[in-house]
Amino acid sequence: MHPVIKTVLGRLAMGVLTLFAVSLIIFSSMELLPGDFGQAILGQAALPETVAAFRRELGLDQPAIVRYWQWVTAVLQGDLGTSFSGRNASGVDRSREVVDLVLPRLRNTLFLASIAALIAVPLSLLLGVTTALYRNTFYDRSVNMATLTTISFPEFFVAYLLILFFASLYPIFPSLANVDSDTLFGERLYRAALPALTLTLVIVAHMMRMTRAAIINLLASPYIQMARLSGASSAEVILKHALPNAWAPIATVIAFNLAYLVVGVVVVEVVFVYPGIGQLMVDAVAMRDIPVVQGCALIFAVTYILLNLLADIIGIITNPRLLHPR
């Protein structure tokens, strides 16, 4: 078997084991949440027999290991369960399937992440290449100072600064990104501008600095020196010789940041009240809606693991020692 195929299969097997471990962590975390859904719905004045019957109806009276097995087997069949939020004390059941609740929110989150990625990836590559090209100049120092400042701020602080300047002092964009399925594409872009800009500012700094570092490390290589001796300009040396060989670390950090765009949007969505999967998860935790919380957390975990696997695979297939073994 070719070393690349063998290594990729090993990474995939590790990803499956990681997902299994993450599912255990998710389920255990739900078990450790304070409070009880049945007691919260029925109220403190409810009789213990009523609470017990309500828990039995929801299946919460079964042992944890049984409920975990039922949840995992259902997920493998594409069933994330039924939301608890539609149930009430009078016995009326208006609950919805978790998939029906998650899919529209997931589309909103992917839309926001895609807009941020379409801006951040080209911008970070441009800044990384140009700062490496004009290293130790005023432009290089200015960009590095700006990116370090952005990295040092948490996402919610950046979001509130953008709201202050672009929604309060200078009302250019709305402070609340309330969109729905009927919102037109242009209006959706306008309302999601500030959350997308927040995510862009956060991830551009990481990707730009990695691009710059990868190119600068290659500039000391012998083939780069040979290209310079042959009369190539600084731009040709970086664009034609250094950048193609720096794709492995750059692609890896891009994949990691794309994973962050999907998984790390929870804070941004809460600040801007954006109807994404992160906001849905926060609301479900507040209502103790266990199936929804588990479904959202599992989607986050699958996304992060898949994109990390993609980053590993990119690093493997671009490794000359594995592509051309001796």
> Who's near 255: CB < 8 A, 6+ residues apart?
307, 308, 310, 311, 314
Lowest mean pLDDT among 71-85, 125-139, 238-252: 238-252
- Give span(s): CATH 1.10.3720.10, the chain: 106-286
Of residues 42 and 202, more confidence is placed in 202
Is the confidence at residue 45, as pLDDT, over 80?
Answer: no
What share of the chain has pLDDT > 90, as a percent? Answer: 9
What is the predicted pLDDT for the residue at 142? 92
Is the confidence at residue 110, as pLDDT, over 80?
Answer: yes
Mean predicted lDDT score pLDDT of the chain: 81
What is the predicted pLDDT for the residue at 163? 92
Is the confidence at residue 48, as pLDDT, over 80?
Answer: no
Query: Each residue of 292-320: pLDDT tens digit?
Result: 888 888 888 888 888 878 777 776 776 55
Backbone angles phi, psi at 87, to 5 degrees: -90, 150
Is the confidence at residue 325, as pLDDT, over 60?
Answer: no
Averaged pLDDT for residues 89-118: 80
Averaged pLDDT for residues 88-104: 70
Q: How confident is the model at residue 237 (pLDDT cuts 50, 70, 90)?
A: confident
- Please give the CATH architecture assigned to the domain spanning 106-286: Orthogonal Bundle (1.10)
What share of the chain has pLDDT > 70, as a percent? Answer: 88
Q: How confident is the model at residue 37 (pLDDT cuts 50, 70, 90)?
A: low
Query: Each residue of 113-130: pLDDT tens digit?
Result: 899 999 998 998 889 888
Averaged pLDDT for residues 200-211: 86
